[in-house]
Chain A
Amino acid sequence: MSSLVRQRHSLMFRPRSYMAFAITPQPPIVDWLSELDASLQRSEGFFAGQHVALDLSAVNLSSSAIGQLVANLEERNIRVLGIEGVDPAKWQLGLPPVLRGGRGLRTSEPSLLIAPVPPTLAARPVPQEQQPASLMVEEPVRSGQSVIFIEGDVTVLGSVGSGAEIVAGGSIHVYGALRGRALAGATGNARARIFCLRVEAELLAINSYYRTADDIDDSLRCRPAQAWLEGDTLQISAMN
């Protein structure tokens, strides 16, 4: 009896949406692939475990060429979840399914920033429905550790050590000294900001625009500060 009930339960289909990166190859494909390789070299593991959708609207490929491209991406550890922007007639067995109705996510431009991300301490909880996209780190982030949270904001209750790294899709808040690197808006969000109680950062970056410690004004050092993007310059100002 109970098994019958369970069986019925498992037959219910619920729609559910997930977040994925869309990558859009540009013609000529060969050049695009070598550009991709150059970016990947700076950031092994950036796509590891990520859902990736292949947007083919900018190119016109035959179905065998699509298969070849998918295989090329797989060689680079990019696993394609689905294809969009393609004539369904070109789809054939063995290709990832065709996706429709994808919507952009508040970002106006595709992600360029590829951060060097050693996959230690990669905090990547599975986003659950109606959970706010933020990650709370309740202890100091030590030298050599990376906190990577592409889904949203990162808040650190403590300091971020020299040689540590925070990568967030949204903003970064550090309630302590920021001595390592902070990369906010890593998925192309130009509105992300970085806040900290004491800026001694090695590098601050928002949406691929960055400043190293050398370019941070000395008058700001060791003060509470925030960083934001104005056009294509990273602005930093004291908060007191």
Chain B
Amino acid sequence: MAQVLVVTSGKGGVGKTTSTAALGAALAHDGAKVVVIDFDVGLRNLDLVLGAERRVVFDLINVINGVAKLPQALIRDKRLETLHLLPASQTRDKDALTEDGVAKVIEELRTKFDWIICDSPAGIERGATLAMRYADAAIIVTNPEVSSVRDSDRIIGLLDSKTAKAERGERVDKHVLITRYHSSRAARGEMLSINDVLEILSTPLLGIIPESQEVLRASNVGSPVTLNNPQSAAARAYFDAARRLKGEQVPMLVFSENRSIFNKLFSRKAA
């Protein structure tokens, strides 16, 4: 049974595209068939983060307009053969997306893949609402700071009212993914704590991704962090989040750059 996920946030720059790529690769790593769709028509990025930018021929808008067939537009990852990308068009804008067109594409993808991950653009306009429209579950990417949290709250409200599932009276499963978390800054009160964020959003937590140089390094070489450096703190946090998506019970750890928090506590005690 295919699962359609939307990775969304409201606010820009919080790590939606990075998280889409990292989670997509983590899920595909175990052999699941995964497609990631870039909904950021006009400002596409996912192709760069996946290192597929030189192989884009057709895109989502071409498929919606009937210019290309879906298999022609799908780009298979060179490293993971079960990971696919459906890129966005860079030359069009979000008005080129139509509700019926998106519905058709998602329906067709459902028959071919286990996971369909929609990378939403920032904002709450057409691109973002269509990215979430047919989702079964949503990952709300949030940074531990007030503006990001308020935007996430707004998005959760939209997920509960504007999605096809909500309109049928069902609920979209919602998960909060906290990114760019810095435990020492949170401890000093320079960031919201995990509890503050969860209390405000009253939505279950999928994972805590630490702020990490590895994420930037991976983006620059066009590789999801979970492929580029699977041992890094951020990659391990994404792998754990992917396991939780599959329904596994995984204890929530806060990874830091080199060692897990338990190592850190241990070293402090030893000192």
User: Are B202 and A145 in contact (CB-based, < 8 A)?
Assistant: no
User: Are B154 and A159 in contact (CB-based, < 8 A)?
Assistant: no
User: Are B200 and A159 in contact (CB-based, < 8 A)?
Assistant: yes
Option from B146, B157, B160, B202 in Cβ contact (under 8 Å) with A159: B202
Which residues of A (99-146) have their CB < 8 Å from a CB of B? 121, 139-145
Given A158-B202, A159-B202, A179-B200, do A143 and B153 touch, yes or no (CB 8 Å)? Answer: yes
Which residues of B (125-182) have their CB < 8 Å from a CB of A? 146, 150-151, 153-154, 156-158, 160-161
Binary CB contact string for chain A from 196 to 238 against chain B (1 if under 8 A, 0 otherwise): 0000000000000000000000000000000000000000000
Question: Any chain B CB within 8 A of the CB of A162?
Answer: yes
How far is the CB of A201 from the nearest CB of chain B, in Å? 14
Closest A residue, CB atoms, query B161: A121
Chain B residues within 8 Å of A164, by CB: 153, 157
Chain A residues within 8 Å of B200, by CB: 159, 161-162, 177, 179
Option from A143, A145, A177 in Cβ contact (under 8 Å) with B151: A143
How far is the CB of A19 from the nearest CB of chain B, in Å? 27
Chain A residues within 8 Å of B161, by CB: 121
Question: Any chain B CB within 8 A of the CB of A96?
Answer: no
User: Are B202 and A163 in contact (CB-based, < 8 A)?
Assistant: no
How far is the CB of A175 from the nearest CB of chain B, in Å? 12
How far is the CB of A162 from the nearest CB of chain B, in Å? 5
User: Are B153 and A162 in contact (CB-based, < 8 A)?
Assistant: yes
Most-contacted residue by chain A among B157, B160, B161, B199 (CB, 10 A):
B157
How far is the CB of A219 from the nearest CB of chain B, in Å? 20
What is the bound-complex CA distance between A51 and B153, given in angstroms? Answer: 34
Chain A residues within 8 Å of B157, by CB: 121, 141-145, 161, 164
What is the bound-complex CA distance between A14 and B199, given in angstroms? Answer: 51
Option from A121, A140, A161 in Cβ contact (under 8 Å) with B150: A161
Main secondary structure on chain A at its contact with chain B? loop
Chain B residues within 8 Å of A145, by CB: 157
Chain A residues within 8 Å of B153, by CB: 142-144, 161-164
How far is the CB of B194 from the nearest CB of chain A, in Å? 17
Option from B150, B160, B199, B202 in Cβ contact (under 8 Å) with A143: B150
Chain B residues within 8 Å of A163, by CB: 150, 153-154
Closest B residue, CB atoms, query A162: B150
Chain B residues within 8 Å of A179, by CB: 200
Option from B146, B160, B199 in Cβ contact (under 8 Å) with A142: B160
Closest A residue, CB atoms, query B159: A142
Most-contacted residue by chain B among A121, A162, A164 (CB, 10 A):
A162
How far is the CB of B205 from the nearest CB of chain A, in Å? 16
What is the bound-complex CA distance between A162 and B196, given in angstroms? Answer: 13
Closest B residue, CB atoms, query A144: B154
What is the bound-complex CA distance between A158 and B203, given in angstroms? Answer: 12
Chain A residues within 8 Å of B151, by CB: 143
Which residues of A (138-181) have their CB < 8 Å from a CB of B? 139-145, 158-159, 161-164, 177, 179
How far is the CB of A221 from the nearest CB of chain B, in Å? 14
What is the bound-complex CA distance between A159 and B161, given in angstroms? Answer: 17
Chain A residues within 8 Å of B160, by CB: 139, 142
What is the bound-complex CA distance between A179 and B199, given in angstroms? Answer: 12
What is the bound-complex CA distance between A144 and B199, given in angstroms? Answer: 18
How far is the CB of B199 from the nearest CB of chain A, in Å? 8
How far is the CB of A98 from the nearest CB of chain B, in Å? 42
What is the bound-complex CA distance between A177 and B199, given in angstroms? Answer: 9
How far is the CB of B153 from the nearest CB of chain A, in Å? 4
Chain B residues within 8 Å of A177, by CB: 199-200
Chain B residues within 8 Å of A139, by CB: 160
A and B contact pairs by CB, cutoff 8 A, 14 listed: A121-B157, A142-B153, A142-B157, A142-B160, A143-B151, A144-B154, A145-B157, A161-B150, A161-B157, A162-B146, A162-B150, A162-B200, A163-B150, A177-B200
Question: What 3 A-B pairs have minimum CB-CB distances, sorted nearest first?
Answer: A142-B157, A143-B153, A143-B154
If A142-B156, A143-B154, A177-B199 are given as contacts, then 18 extra A-B residue pairs at C-beta distance below 8 Å, sorted by A number, are A121-B161, A139-B160, A142-B153, A142-B157, A143-B151, A143-B153, A144-B153, A144-B157, A145-B157, A159-B200, A161-B150, A161-B153, A162-B146, A162-B150, A163-B153, A164-B153, A164-B157, A179-B200
